[in-house]
Every structure is written in structure tokens, then in C-alpha cells.
Amino acid sequence: MYEYIPNHVAGRKLERYHNPKETLEMEFLDLGGYIRVSTPKQTQMTSIENQKRYLYEWAELNKYNLTKCYVDIKSGEYTYLRNELKELLEDVRNGVIRGVLVKEISRTSRDVMDMLELKRKITHYGGFIISLKEAYDSRKDDDEFLLIIYSGLAQKERKTTASRVKVTQIIKAKDGKTNVPLPAFGYKLSDDKQTLVINEETAPTLHFIFEKYIEGWGQLKLAKYLNKTGIKSRRGFNWSSNAIKTVLSNPIYIGTTIYNATTLLRSPDGTQNRVIRPFEEWIVRENTHEPLITIEDFNKVQHIMNEKKEKDSKEWSCDRKYLATGILFCSTCYGKIFGSRYPKKSKGKKTNDFCYRYRCDGRNGKCISPMKYWDMERVDHMILDIFRSLFEDSERLTKALKNQIHTTDEDLLIAEERTSIKLRLEELEKAVNRQYTAYEAEALELHEYKDRLAELREEKQRLINRLDKITERLNKVDTLNERLNRVFMQVRDKLDNIHDLTYEEKISLLNATFEKIFINSDYSIKEIVFKT
């Protein structure tokens, strides 16, 4: 029977389906091994090497080529948290590997919905999954019945294990014992790991934080001071305002332990969200360890924090907004720059007036200075001037945008090629119909008809592939021209008084034009990325 693709199918440019079952009889297919362990403990690291060896030996024995092993050290509850798994999926998608080999399904995911989604992604990319323990091959499981059973058992095992651990932790919490592997700053674990004891090395710093905050130091000033003196947080990182806030609001320092206050719930999109449990489910135990802060000082700190919070909410209810937030980036660390406001001082005392600045926190450690500031009014004025100068010289702006998306005069030739391809595709459709008519009239033999159709289809598919690439490139140019024309129409009568526009008008124009603006510490602009 000859192969004939009707016009109503061929004209829709549908992708061809590559059935993974076609690979069942193939030998030496390239596979990727996936290995997951929960923690970086030495015993788990040994397990990684054992799993690798097991996968390689199985692949060699069964005539597969195991090209690489992808290793994640993460929980098996949710797959979206694992970077190596994401890389594996990309390799399946790009054809680097044809399938995935795992020791057992629970090593991949212990959640039924996650496992089904993962399997379907791999199948959609033309790949398959083999699990050795269950002797499972997704190419032989069309209705996913076996996968659901195996994944359900893995999920049940995870829930049972988690429940046992939870019960143990609740018992410890009710007995006033600790459940944390990393104690709060200022404490350390006792020799038996059951209670908290004062850490003589970090406790003085903890006292310093509370004392200075009561004296009037802010969270940011405390963080800057600690970082300047080389004192690290409990995790060994630099201090931040949020870290100081966490310390100041933690009741652990008055000898109180709180457990079971929050839990993680899975949202419909598969991510985890932390939520607060009902208060009656909390486990609160007082005097479980020696306090570092008196109740009086702790309450005084909470009162100061609440006062500042109320004051901030009143101040932030005004119309003051930060024009460049969202488009302004640090040229050193490439991190986002945020707006902030600081009380002005007169003779060393704070006033009710504020100065506004943009701030880079240097959070990723690439900045020379841990904190950089720019005067907000100066930066806003500068960005609006850049916007005005760009739109006053439309040729310069168009050239800059085209360079960003790598467009040249060659696009004109490509547009002409697109037109000629469309014409040729129309001719091919007519040619296919003519061949069919000739065959029906018995002017062509069956083998002649099939050969001619094959030639026409091959040429058609080649032209369609080329047309898709051309269209994708030219769509960027078309979209760019549309956006430019739209923005030009908006601003042509507003350039002269751009600084007098309302905030909403300014932000609308800037957001329609700029994707990112990278600023140096000396206020010079390193790079501008336009929206395309």
C-alpha cells in the first residue's frame, strides 16, 4: 500500500511521532543513568559509586551504551528541585541520549504524579525509562498501569518513613529536646545531641546584636558591622537584614522551643509552599535550655520591631515609587538593584525626612563592596535622558535593537526567500494533485507514482523546515518594528517634557523599551538590553 499524506494533514505542519517502541530491538542505544541520594553523607556517597557500577554493568550485559550518569543529592519527594534531572531531560529532548536507566523507581521520584509527569515528558521527547529493580520498561507499559503501581508503593514508603520520623520528633519536642541539626546562632548541640547549650564563641555576638538594636541600631547597620568585622552567620555566610531580623524575633533565645508550627503543602503546579499550622497543633515548651536573652529585653526588641513595622507601613502607603526597579541591574554581579529609603539626619539625629537610593546588596559575593548605593533622583533623571536621546534619534535606536537580535540587511534577502518558498510549496501541492490524477487515470504505474510522491514530499518537508526557521527569525524583526512604531507613537509628543510626566506614564514607556540596564558604581551605563 502506497504512502499518501492527505492535504488536510500535510498542510498543518504536524510533527512526526517517534514511537519509543521502535527502539526495542535496537542494540547499543545511548542511555543516561540517573542516580539520586537524599543527603551528602559518606554512606550515601558510597551508594552513588555502587549504583553507577551496577548501572554500567547492566547496560554492558544487555547491549546498551551508558554514556553518562546524572547524580542529584536531593529528596525524592519532588523532581522539580533537581538540577541534574533537568539536564537529563534536556539531553533526551536533544537526542543526546535515547533513554533513562535507573536502579529503582523510588530513586527517581517517590511521588506518583511527579513520576507520571516525568515519564510522559521522556516519552514525548521520544525516549523511555528502564528501572532495574522492578524490571520495568516504559516501552511495554502503554496504559502506565505498572508505573502507577510501582510509584504508589514508593510514595507509600516515603509517607510511612516520614510519619515514623515525625512521631519521633514530636516525642522529642514534647520532652523539651531539640530536633535541629544546626542550632540557632549563639547555641550548639550538647554532647548527646539532645539539647541546646550556649556556644561561648558566638554568644557574645548574639548579646551584642540585641544590645545594639535596643540602643537604636537598625538591622542593616548591624549586618554591615558584623560583615565588616568578619563575623559570619551560623551557616558561614555574610549577614543580611533578614538574618538579623530572624535572630531578633526568635524565642529560642529566652529558652522557649517551638515545634510543628509550619508544614509544607504541595500546590497544583507541583511546587512546595510553607504554611502555618493551626495554633493548637503547635508544640511550645518553655525553659528547655538556658536562655541567652532576658524576657524583658526580648519583649523590648519585639516592641521596637512592631513600632518600626507600623511606621514603615504608613510611610509606604504614599505614592513614592521606584522608577527603575525591575530594569536596573548591577554591572559587577549582574544582580537586581532595588529601591530603598533612609531617614535623613540632622546633627546626628534622625528626622522625619527620607533620602531615596538604589541599592545592590552584593548577595552573590561577586561585588567588591558588600553594599553599593546610587542616588535615586540622579539615576531616574539619567535613565529618562537616555530614553529621550534614543527616541530623538530613531535610526540609532533601530540599529541598536537590530544588533541586539542580530538582524542585518540580510533579513531583506531572507524575506524574499520566504516568499519564494511559499510559492514553491503551492506548486508542490499542485504537483501532488497532478500525480494523483495521473495515477487515477492509469497514466502512471504504482511504483512510478510512489517514487514521484516520495521526491515531492522530501522537497516539501525540507522547504517547510527552512520556512519555520525563517519565520522564527523574521517574527522577531516584525515584532520589533511593531513595538518601535507603537512606542514612537506614544512618545513623539512627550519627549520635550518627559521629566514632567506622571509616574505611570514614565514606567509604561520604560517598561515597553528596556529589558535590563546595567549600571556601574560611577553612574556610567555598561550595557542596555532592549525588549525584543
Alpha-carbon Rg for the chain in angstroms:
32
Beta bridge partners of 529: 516
Please tell me the predicted confidence (pLDDT) of residue 201: 94
Q: Which of 164, 34, 40, 43 is nearest to 88 (CA)?
A: 34
If residue 262 lies in a helix (H) or strand (E), which one and from where to where?
strand 262-266
Please tell me the predicted confidence (pLDDT) of residue 262: 84
CB 42 within 8 A of CB 147: no
CB 215 within 8 A of CB 208: no
CA 491 to CA 387: how far, in whole Å? 10
Instruction: Note down pLDDT in tens along the chain; length 532 residues.
Output: 445 666 666 656 666 667 788 888 888 899 999 988 776 665 566 778 888 999 999 999 999 999 999 988 765 444 545 678 888 999 998 889 999 999 988 877 777 788 888 888 898 888 999 999 888 999 988 888 888 888 888 778 777 777 777 777 778 777 778 887 789 999 998 888 888 999 999 999 999 999 999 999 988 899 999 999 999 988 888 998 888 999 999 999 999 888 888 887 766 655 667 888 888 888 888 888 999 999 999 999 999 998 887 766 555 444 446 888 888 998 888 888 888 887 776 665 655 678 888 888 766 556 666 678 888 889 988 888 888 877 776 666 566 555 555 544 555 567 778 788 888 888 888 888 887 787 777 777 777 777 788 888 888 888 888 888 777 766 655 555 665 666 566 566 666 677 777 777 788 878 878 889 999 888 888 888 877 6
Kindly provide the b/e burial profile for residues 169-202, where b requires at least 16 CB atoms within 10 angstroms of the residue's own CB.
beebbeebbbeeeebbbbbbbeeeeebbeebeeb
Please tell me the predicted confidence (pLDDT) of residue 22: 83
CA 490 to CA 508: how far, in whole Å? 10
CB 32 within 8 A of CB 481: no
CA 487 to chain centre: 31
Kindly provide the b/e burial profile for residues 64-98, where b requires at least 16 CB atoms within 10 angstroms of the residue's own CB.
bebeebbbbbbbbbbbeebebbeebbebbeeeebb
- 174-212 confidence digits (pLDDT tens): 777 888 778 999 999 888 888 899 999 999 999 999 999
Please tell me the predicted confidence (pLDDT) of residue 294: 94
CB 95 within 8 A of CB 61: no
Please tell me the predicted confidence (pLDDT) of residue 290: 92
Please tell me the predicted confidence (pLDDT) of residue 97: 92
Query: What are the boundaries of each domain within the chain?
Result: 20-159, 187-315, 322-532
CB-based contacts of 53: which residues, under 8 Å, 6+ apart?
A: none
CB-based contacts of 139: which residues, under 8 Å, 6+ apart?
A: 20, 21, 23, 24, 128
Does the domain formed by 187-315 have CATH 3.90.1750.20? yes
**Topology (CATH) of 20-159:** Rossmann fold (3.40.50)
CA 130 to CA 432: how far, in whole Å? 43
Residue 16 exposure: Cα atoms within 13 Å on the Cβ side: 4
Long-range CB pairs of 388-392, under 8 A, 24+ apart, other chains included: 388/495, 388/498, 390/513, 391/487, 391/488, 391/491, 391/492, 391/495, 392/495
Taking the CA atoms of residue 406, residue 412, residue 416 and residue 417 in that order, the dihedral angle to the nearest 10 degrees is -30
CA 319 to CA 404: how far, in whole Å? 35
The CA distances from residue 173 to 135, 176, 228, in Å, are: 42, 5, 37
- 66-108 confidence digits (pLDDT tens): 999 998 876 544 454 567 888 899 999 888 999 999 998 887 7
Please tell me the predicted confidence (pLDDT) of residue 468: 80
Please tell me the predicted confidence (pLDDT) of residue 244: 93
- What is the SS3 assignment for 389-433? HHHHCHHHHHHHHHHHCCCCCHHHHHHHHHHHHHHHHHHHHHHHH
Output the pTM of the full model: 0.46
Residue 484 exposure: Cα atoms within 13 Å on the Cβ side: 21
- What is the SS3 assignment for 424-467? HHHHHHHHHHHHHHHHHCCCCCHHHHHHHHHHHHHHHHHHHHHH
DSSP state letters, 74-125:
S-SS-GGG-HHHHHHHHHHHTTS-SEEEES-GGGT-S-HHHHHHHHHHHHHT
CA 233 to CA 242: how far, in whole Å? 12
